[in-house]
Every structure is written in structure tokens, then in C-alpha cells.
Amino acid sequence: MTETADFPEPPKPDGWLSESELAAARRRMPLVYVDAVPVRVDDSGDVVAVGLLLRVNSVGAMTRSLVSGRVMYHERVRDALVRHLEKDLGPVALPQIPATPQPFTVAEYFPTPGVTPYHDSRQHAVSLAYVVPVAGDCEPQQDALELAWMTPEESCSEQVQVEMTGGQGYLLRQAMAHVGRLP
């Protein structure tokens, strides 16, 4: 009879949870996230384009999304923003994080729809949301199929808004209102 060996999970960097640890944490407490709206600005600092990612969700539908992800243990918010922007937009996106980043809003995602405009069936998450100018070349990375640059008006159109899920369309409209570009 042949016995099988149980191999331990490979070590994770500090601050990373195994899949089972993450699932347990998601059931017990809110997690901290960042949401980033990547934008292009003109010479006077006005937002002229918004970058939206095209992804395939878990049921195979095409959706538009913002850059989003968890803040790791012992990670500064600015470092989490840079990490997620580079992970989704590429290593030469050149995000311009201000010296003192201030979110334009705090989005509270709940697993129960309707509590807030934001919904995430996996967890309760609190997300700090930022508008982040990017100056470099951006290419979709990871699971993103495309990065589309749209005018602020196009990004807030009904056609684009219906392609966004979990309240990210609402968050995008808040971002454009914050920078004075809501149509």
C-alpha cells in the first residue's frame, strides 16, 4: 500500500493569508481595501480620461471595473494603491500618489445587497476610494482583458454604468463628481 504525504502550504510573504485563513477572516470581520479610479489629466490638472478594466466575472459575463484590492498587514495605504495600480495597469503605469493621500469617499461593501450602494457577496469590506492620475504606459494585467480610456462623460453614461457591478458604477460617478466632471 502506498501512503501519500501531506505537504504544507508554501510559505506566504508577511501579511498574506492562506485561502482558508482569508475565508475565515472574511466571515468574521470587515477587511480594508482601496479602490482607485485611474485617470489621465491635462496640463492644468483637469481629468480628461478615465481608465476602466474589462474583466470576465465568475459567471462568464463581461464587466467593467475599477482598480481594487486589499490592504495587506503592515502595508501603508499609498503602497497598497501603487501595488494594485501596477498589478492591474502594468509596471510602468506611473501612478501619481499625492504626498498625503486623502480618499474622496469611504465605500462600505456588504455581503447583503441593499445596505449601501456597494455589494460584495464574499465579505464585509471598507474601502478607501481615490482618484489617481497615471502618467505612464498602461496595459491590462492579471485577469483584465482590456483597459479602455473614456471621457468622464462616457464613463458615466448609462451604457457603461450597467457594465459595472457591486456598486462600482456608483463609486465612479462619485469620483467624477468629486473632480467636477459629472455630466
Q: 18 or 154: which carries more pLDDT confidence?
A: 154
Q: What pLDDT sits at residue 21? A: 84
Q: How far apart are CA 22 and CA 50, in angstroms?
A: 31
CATH of the domain at 77: 3.90.79.10
Assess if residue 16 is contained within a domain: no
Assess if residue 17 is contained within a domain: no
**To the nearest whole percent, how much of the chain has pLDDT over 90?**
73
Does residue 28 have a pLDDT over 90?
no
Tell me the pairing of strands 31-41 and 47-56. Answer: antiparallel
Q: What is the residue range of 34's domain?
A: 29-179
Assess if residue 106 is contained within a domain: yes
Assess if residue 23 is contained within a domain: no
Q: 29 or 119: which carries more pLDDT confidence?
A: 119
Does residue 7 have a pLDDT over 60?
no
Q: Which three cell numbers stand for residue 114?
A: 441593499
Q: What pLDDT sits at residue 1? A: 47
Looking up cell 447583503 gives: 112
CB 37 within 8 A of CB 28: no
CA neighbours closer than 13 Å in the CB half-sphere of residue 43: 0
* Cα distance from N-terminal residue to C-terminal residue, the chain: 71
Assess if residue 12 is contained within a domain: no
Q: Is 123 helix (H, G, I), strand (E, B) or coil?
A: coil
Looking up cell 495597469 gives: 89
- The residue among 127, 142, 99 whose CA lies nearest residue 35 is 127
The rounded mean pLDDT for the chain is 90
Q: How far apart are CA 133 and CA 34, in angstroms?
A: 15
Q: What is the dihedral of CA 112, 115, 119, 120, to 10 degrees?
A: -40
Burial class (CB in 10 A: 0-12, 13-18, 19+), 75: middle
Assess if residue 56 is contained within a domain: yes
Assess if residue 24 is contained within a domain: no
Q: What pLDDT sits at residue 175? A: 98
Q: Could you report the per-residue pLDDT of 123-161, keeping only the tens digit for each?
A: 999 999 999 999 999 999 888 899 999 999 999 999 999
Count of the separate structural domains present in the chain = 1
Looking up cell 502550504 gives: 9
Assess if residue 141 is contained within a domain: yes
Per-residue pLDDT, averaged over 56-84, amounts to 93
Q: 143 or 78: which carries more pLDDT confidence?
A: 78
Q: Which three cell numbers stand for residue 41?
A: 489629466
